[in-house]
A and B are shown apart, each in its own frame.
Chain A
Amino acid sequence: MKFAAKKLTNLIITVILVSFLTFCAFQVIGDPVARMLGAEATPEKVAQLREELGFNRPVMTRYLEWAGNFLRGDMGISYSYKLPVSDMVIPKLGVTVALTLMAFVMTCVLSITIGLYQVRLKSPAVDRAMTVVNQIVMSIPPFFIGILLTCLFGLVFHLFTPGYYVSFRESPAGFFGYLFFPALSIAIPKISQSVKMLRSRTGEELEKDYIRTAFSRGMNTGAAVNYHALHNAIIPVISFLAVSLAEMLASCIIIEQIFSIPGIGRLMLSSISSRDFTVVLAIVVILVLWVIIVNFIADMIYPLIDPRIKVNR
């Protein structure tokens, strides 16, 4: 309980810090007034609008006002779209979360299957070939994987139509169908990392004394891998997967751009460039919450997998 309380305080402090830093950042990079009035604005108009919107007041006052409203569930109104921020952000969040979760499921299923396949391999040649391929895949920048998948599956094999995003409301099947390849692009780097991890951990475990004892008792390699080494090797992989769930949300930003998916990352990028800070703040807070909550869950599942680990931070 104390642990949970501490995590919660940390969470609150981080959210306050990040939102305040974001607020200050906009003080430095400018407000949305120039964008709202366009290139033809006269200086008087600019000054007048700035006054109207209250941008001339001290940062602290404005921050507290924003925080107060935010706590009451009022995220404000977008300066560029003139729509309530919550109406804009929540549908986008749904898309991004769907994408992330799809990528996560793919990563879990594929990395554990491929990883298990590789550690149980009898043929050293295939094992080595898989290691080499894996090493190469790991070195490809994630966004380049996205581009390659678009070209290969979209334009050569015509398995999906690049750019023909279908919203969930229109057709759930089409929606998940379209998200398949973007999710795969996010998943591939993570898959190769976790396969590699599983492979090398199992290798390390197999050299340990307890396995030697097992061998000396007459156990064959397959069984040693299955019952002993794997059990220990898979724990760090699972925690890696849990942590990568947090990172995946960040990779969404670029992938959404490449596949033209109207998600939260794209909204954040365009809102930053139009200085639409109410939108950016809402998204930043959501991102922080996501990262921290996922890490928290990761911390909580360690003891479930391995009772030896106790939560004692």
Chain B
Amino acid sequence: MKKILKSDNWYLKCGIFITGFILIVILIGQFWTPYDSGYMDGAARLEGPSFAHIFGTDNFGRDILSRVIEGTGTTFLVSFCINLIGLLAGTMIGAAAGYRGGLFDDLLMRICDAITAFPNVMLALVIIAVFGSGDLNIIWVLGILFIPSYARIVRSQFVQQKSCNYVQMAKLMGASPLRIIFVHILPNIYSTLLPAATIGFNNAVLAEASMSFLGVGVSANKPSLGRMLNEAQSFLVGGAPWYAAFVGLAIVLLVMGLSLLGEGLQKEQLRGKK
């Protein structure tokens, strides 16, 4: 910790500060919010910021601050799960493709291309049709969409590492392919994956927001930043510009904190290599 405070890596410092702040707010939001985020007050629709409602109220008279706090939590959870799915499945696929190579590799990579080119909205509909509609279906949809990018990164790393001496040695010593993949190569590419994961994290926040915008995001039972921004934009003209402004601000902070963190980590790593 001291090392970080003293370092001149501003990206890392700002990133840790902003993300830490957001995490604390999310944590507090689990136990306490100024108002019940679902409570509707017909007498206080679309009110501007005041002492009672610091961020104002939305079109149902709900407290925006409370909803932003809860929504940040939802969005964070969603992005986390998306990346977890993407990372786990992507690593498996990338490792298998990179290690085996040949036709197998080609085929897996073509499937990844196909997933990338497949329209997101349609994938969302397929998932809903198969699993039924749930609050957080979007996790599966985006999780699947995030697999190819991780798979590509891992695959290229594996292709590189495969020819390294230490892998050749392990092979000579009779290590099984699984052991080589998990015990030998994976720990070596961890340093590439970490920054990729933070960047993936903020892509996930943006993706959640865009999907909500297209009407296939998190359901109305849970507040989420993407959905709120989508609702807020109808009141941007004339009605209640602060609604969109505060929600937008929360998204910008979340994404910025994470991307700074990611970059900071990357810089730290480069420095370590020198």
Contacts and interface: CB of A to CB of B under 8 A. Distances in A.
Interface of A: 10, 13-14, 17-18, 21-22, 25, 28-30, 135-136, 138-144, 147, 151, 155, 253-254, 257, 268-269, 272, 280, 284, 287-288, 291-292
A40 to B, nearest CB: 24
A291 B117 contact: yes
A139 B256 contact: yes
A291 B119 contact: no
Given A22-B118, A30-B129, A287-B117, 12 more contacts: A10-B110, A29-B129, A139-B252, A139-B256, A139-B259, A141-B206, A141-B248, A144-B244, A151-B236, A253-B214, A257-B214, A272-B125
Contact of A272 (B117, B119, B241): B119
B37 interface: no
Interface string B123-159: 1011001100000000000000000000000000000
Interface string B230-242: 0001001100010
Contacts of A141: 206, 209-210, 229, 248, 251, 255
Contacts of B255: 138-139, 141
B105 to A, nearest CB: 12
A253 B122 CA distance: 13
Interface residues of B, number: 36
B121 interface: yes
Contacts of A13: 110
Contacts of B260: 135
Contacts of A269: 121, 214
A280 B123 CA distance: 13
B114 A21 contact: yes
A140 B116 contact: no
A10 B105 CA distance: 12
- The 7 lowest CB-CB distance pairs between A and B, nearest first, are A139-B255, A139-B256, A17-B114, A288-B117, A139-B252, A14-B113, A18-B114
B178 interface: no
Contact of B259 (A30, A135, A143, A147): A135
8 contacts: A18-B117, A29-B122, A29-B126, A139-B252, A144-B244, A144-B251, A284-B119, A287-B117
Contacts of B206: 141-142
Contacts, number: 101
A223 B203 CA distance: 37
Given A141-B251, A142-B206, A284-B119, A155 B237 contact: yes
B264 to A, nearest CB: 12
Interface string B101-121: 000001000110110111101
Q: Is the interface of A mostly helix, strand, loop or mixed?
A: helix
B19 interface: no
Interface string B197-234: 00000100010011001100000000000000100010
Contacts of B116: 291
Contacts of A30: 129
Contacts of B106: 10
Nearest to B238: A155
A21 B118 contact: yes
A139 B224 CA distance: 17
B199 to A, nearest CB: 11
Contacts of B252: 136, 139-140
A18 B248 contact: no
A18 B112 CA distance: 10
A140 B251 CA distance: 7
Contact of A254 (B117, B210, B253, B256): B210
Given A139-B202, A143-B209, A144-B229, A284 B117 contact: yes
A268 B244 CA distance: 27
